Chain A
C-alpha cells in the first residue's frame, strides 16, 4: 500500500465514501493549498471496502455542514503533535445555505440573485433536500 507520511499538526478526514474525496478536496480549495496535502482515493477499509482519505498538514476552517451534506459517515480527526486530539462527528445538516443551488428553471432563484440559496432536509436516509422557494427536491450527494 501507498505510504503517506503522517502529519504533525492538521486535519485528517477519514472514511470518506470512495469517489467523494475529490469533491471534498475541491470544496476546501485544497488544490490551491501552499501546505502539504494528500488526497488518497480507494484506500482499503475493513468496514467500507474502499474509502477516500484527505490529510491536511495545516489547521484550516472546515464547514462541517458541507462535509455532513456530502458524506455524514466521514470522520474528521484534529491532529496535534502527531496525535488525534479531537474527533468530530458529522451530521446530515437540517438546513444548508449557499452550498447547493436550485436547478429548477422555473424557480425564482434562476432569475433573481441577491439572496441565499436555502435547502431543507427532507429525508435523512436518502439525503434529499427541498428548495426553500420552489420545493423542488434534490439529492445532491446520493448515498453510494
Chain B
C-alpha cells in the first residue's frame, strides 16, 4: 500500500510498489482526461527552500491536471524559515492546510528529517547534492517507454557525477535490477561519491567502469544520461571553467552512438548537449520532462490512495 507513505529515497519503496506507480503513469499517458478530476478537493503544498522553477512547475502542473489545487513557497527568504522557524515546525503547520507536500531543500537529509514530524505524505523534490527520487521516476518511465524495460542495459552517466543528485538516485534505483551495467564518464574530480560506488554499486556486484572520455564507450550504451556541471558546486571559478566544457555531447560524438542509444538529461541544460543534437530522434530529454509530469501525477494519486 502506497497510501500515506512518503518518498524520500528510492530505497523507500519496493520494486513492486514502483511497478504500481509506473503502470499508473503509462495508463495516464494513454488517457490523461480520465484522471482530470481525480484530485478534486485535494491540496498539494510545494515547499521550495531553494528555487527550482522546473521541478516546482512539474509538481504543480501534475496536481492541477488531476483537478487538485496547490499552495506553497519558493526560496526560504520569502518564508517563515527566514525568521528562524525550524523545518519541523514549518512542516507541522503546512500539514494543517495540505493533503500532500513536495519539498526541496539545499541541505542533504532535510526531507527525511521533515518526514519524521508529519503524517501526510511527503515527496523529496531534491535535497542538496543528495537525492531527487521523482527525477528518477521520470527517468525510469522514459526508459520504459523507449526500450520496454530497464533490465539488461548499459547506462552511461556523463558530467558532474559527484554532486549530481539525479545520477545518484538513478544509479541507486537501477542497481536493484538484473543485467544492468554502468559506465561513469566524468573528470576525476567529479566522480561518483564513495557511498554510491561502495554501498550501492560494488555491494550489489554490478559491473561498472569509471572513465574520462565519451567516444570509446558510446557504442556500448543503451542510454547516455547527461548532466550539467553546476557552477554553484564549485568553490572557484577557475575549476568550473576548466571542467565544464570537457564533456560536451555534440553531433560528432553522437556519430559513435548506436541508432538505439537514447540521450537523456534532467534539464535545465547549459551547453553540455550542443543544440545541434536536439533534432536527432535519439535526443529524448524534452519528452522526458513531459513524462516527469505524468509520473508525478501517478505518484500523487498513489500516495493519496486515490488509485
Contact = CB atoms under 8 A, between A and B. Distances in A.
Interface residues of B, number: 20
A18 B107 CA distance: 38
Interface stretch (B109-117, B247-255, B275-283, B290-298): B109-117
A112 B109 CA distance: 11
Nearest to A126: B198
Interface string A94-136: 0000000000101111111011000000100000001111111
B194 A137 contact: yes
A133 to B, nearest CB: 2
A133 B112 contact: yes
Interface string B81-115: 00000111000000000000000011111101100
A133 B199 contact: no
5 contacts: A112-B87, A115-B88, A135-B130, A136-B195, A137-B198
B91 to A, nearest CB: 11
A99 B86 CA distance: 23
Contact of A107 (B109, B116, B195): B109
Chain A residues touching B, range: 10 to 19
B128 interface: yes
Contacts of B129: 106
Most buried by B among A108, A110, A130, A133: A108
Contacts, number: 57
Given A133-B113, A134-B130, A108 B195 contact: no
Is chain B's interface secondary structure helix, strand, loop, or mixed overall?
A: mixed
Interface string B123-137: 000011110000000
Nearest to B110: A108
A110 to B, nearest CB: 7
A133 B112 CA distance: 6
A137 B194 CA distance: 8
Given A106-B108, A108-B87, 10 more contacts: A106-B107, A106-B128, A108-B109, A110-B107, A112-B86, A133-B109, A133-B110, A135-B195, A137-B195, A137-B199
A48 B199 CA distance: 31
Contacts of B128: 106, 134
A132 B108 CA distance: 10
Interface of B: 86-88, 105-110, 112-113, 116, 127-130, 194-195, 198-199
A104 B108 CA distance: 9
Contacts of B108: 104, 106-108, 133-136
Contacts of B127: 108
A111 B114 CA distance: 13
Nearest to A104: B108
Contacts of A131: 109
Contacts of A104: 108
Contact of B113 (A112, A130, A136, A137): A112
Contacts of A110: 107
Contacts of B86: 112, 114
| Nearest 9 CB-CB pairings of A with B | A133-B109, A134-B108, A108-B107, A134-B109, A108-B110, A108-B109, A106-B128, A106-B108, A137-B195
A114 B90 CA distance: 14
A115 B107 contact: no
B137 to A, nearest CB: 19
Contacts of B106: 106
B199 A115 contact: no
Contacts of A130: 195, 199
A82 to B, nearest CB: 48
Contacts of A135: 108-109, 130, 195
Contacts of A112: 86-88, 110, 113
A135 to B, nearest CB: 5
Contact of A108 (B113, B194, B198, B199): B113
Contacts of B113: 108, 112, 115, 133
Nearest to A135: B195
Nearest to A111: B107
